[in-house]
Structure formats: C-alpha cells, structure tokens
Amino acid sequence: MPSFATLLAEIEDFWIPLPDKPEESPAGVLAALWRTACGEPVSVARASAARLPALDAEGLARLRSLIARKRAGVPLAHLTGRQSFMGLEFLAGASALIPRRETEILGRAALAKIRCMAEQARAVRVLDVCTGSGNLALAYAHYEPRASVLAADLSPEAVQLAWQNAAHLGLAERVEFRVGDLLEPFDTAPFLGACDFLSCNPPYISTAKLKAMHPEISLFEPEAAFNGGVYGVAILTKLVREAPRFLRPGGWLGFEVGAGQGALLARQLAKNPAFAVVERFTDAAGEVRAILARVL
C-alpha cells in the first residue's frame, strides 16, 4: 500500500497552483481526495492529513481514479462534491460556480450591515441575486437568524443545487430560492422599496478574456457564471440601475467586482444621485473586490 508521501509526490509532479483557489495545496488536495475515496467527502479546508482513515484495496483504486481525474484538470470541488465558504461546508457541482475565497470579502461586509440592521429590532429582508450554489444567501441566514433571505439565479440547475445546499445546511425553512434573471423574480409589489439589503456576485469577466481563463475553470464551470459582457460590467450596470427600486430608504446594495474594476465603479456610484454612501472593501493585495452603497 503506497504511503501518503508517495502519493503526494505524484500530485506534486503535475501540480499547478491557481490564484483563485489559494486554499488548495498538494497535501490538502491529497487529503481531501483520500477522505472522499474512503466515503467521507470533505472540502480541502476540512481535509486535514492528520489521522486519515485507512485505505483498503478498493479505496486505493478509488483514490487513484480521483488523482487521475485531478491530473486531467477536473476541479477538486467537483471530485469531492464539497467546498468551504465562510466556515460552512457546501455541496459543489458543475451546475454552479464553485464558491471562491474572494467572495468572502463581500460576504463578511454584507453580513456586518445585515447584523447592524437586525440590531434595530425589526425584521431584515435580504435579497441575493446571481446566487449560484446559494453560498452567500445561506451564509447570511446561518449567521444572522433574524434575517429573512430570498435568492435567485437565471439557471434552474444552479437553483436546484442551492436548494440542496439549503437542506444540507438545515436552512431550507429559512431561505427561498427562485429562478429568473437578476431581480425579475422579485419585481412585484411586496418587494419594491421593501428590502434592506441586496447582494450580488455577478459575472464580471469580459467576453474577450474568457478564452484566457485556466482550463480548470473554463472547461468545467458554467460560462454564464463568468461572462460579464464585452467590458465585464454588463450585469453590474443593470444591477446598479435597478437596485434602488427594491431597497428601502437607507437600504444597502453590495456586490463583488473583478480585479481592476472596483475603483472606477466606486467613483461612478459616488456620483450616482440614488446613492448616499459608498464603501470599498479590498483583498490582501489592496485590490477593491467588493463595494457597498447605501440608497437615499
């Protein structure tokens, strides 16, 4: 039976780190695949190499198959069916974007605002659009029980995965998912001018840059989750235009932006008469990756 070190050397032989998945290391990937092969699927964030379960011959065969698929470029989260986001263990699959670490910047900033509004002793209504696997919506519901959360995505397959995640996390009674384009599923009287927080992790990669994306992303994750149009801001522009109709006075809009987009978008929002306050949130490199704006 090969040792962990022997199998780790095999992974290191083909390993190429991806900037958008900094949590993945060769040892972490092997530990996650090992546990998955033993029938205990976990995300890389929870796949400690300490005290791994014993591998029998069948388990080793499954592990070697998983390693071969990883070598072929299949994303780790698709092999384990798991991805960690904001401390929660989500189900992952090809029907929706794999939750990324940088989206936690938006998640944490949004949750802080939602909690502040909840402290005002009233119900807080939160909408999350382009919800994908439901990671942001479910994180809001998990960490702030006083929030009423509804979410939507254009893809029925993504919404199905979001419902599965809601059941997986015990939040199926707390979050409602709908199918539709951006805010269209909520364009009815009960929601207009009645929401406290609106969040969105939209597609923001320009069409021209899609071909340059790493094959592990472009070949295995849905293009609709990345394609933001010619300049990468088509969905963001529509979101900013429509959001004030749905937010209460003093409500907040929060969204993720791509590298290099944040400063310009923040300046444009500051000049928009519908918004009174604009806040920027940066990553470790100082790049603006999330923007929150308060409506008048």
Do the Cβ atoms of 202 and 130 come closer than 8 Å?
Answer: yes
Closest CA to 289 of 259, 267, 264, 269: 259
Do the Cβ atoms of 266 and 296 come closer than 8 Å?
Answer: no
**The two structure tokens encoding residue 56:** 């029998």
The amino acid present at 144, given as its one-letter code, is E
- Please give the radius of gyration of the chain, using alpha carbons only, rounded to the nearest integer: 20
Distance of CA 208 to CAs 27, 226, 229, 233, 287, Å? 35, 11, 9, 13, 22
SS3 at position 147: strand
Interatomic CA distance for residues 293 and 240, integer angstroms: 10
pLDDT given for residue 123 in this prediction? 84
pLDDT given for residue 207 in this prediction? 87
Tens of pLDDT along the chain (296 residues)? Answer: 789 999 999 999 999 989 989 999 999 999 999 999 999 999 999 998 888 999 999 999 999 999 999 999 999 999 999 999 999 999 999 999 999 999 999 999 999 999 999 998 678 999 999 999 999 999 999 999 999 999 999 999 999 999 999 999 999 999 999 999 999 999 999 999 999 999 999 998 888 888 888 889 988 999 989 888 887 889 999 999 999 999 999 999 999 999 889 999 999 999 999 999 999 999 999 999 999 999 99
Domain spans in the chain, listed from the N-terminal domain onward? 4-80, 103-295
| 103-295 to CATH, choices 1.20.120.160, 3.10.20.30, 3.60.70.12, 3.40.50.150 | 3.40.50.150
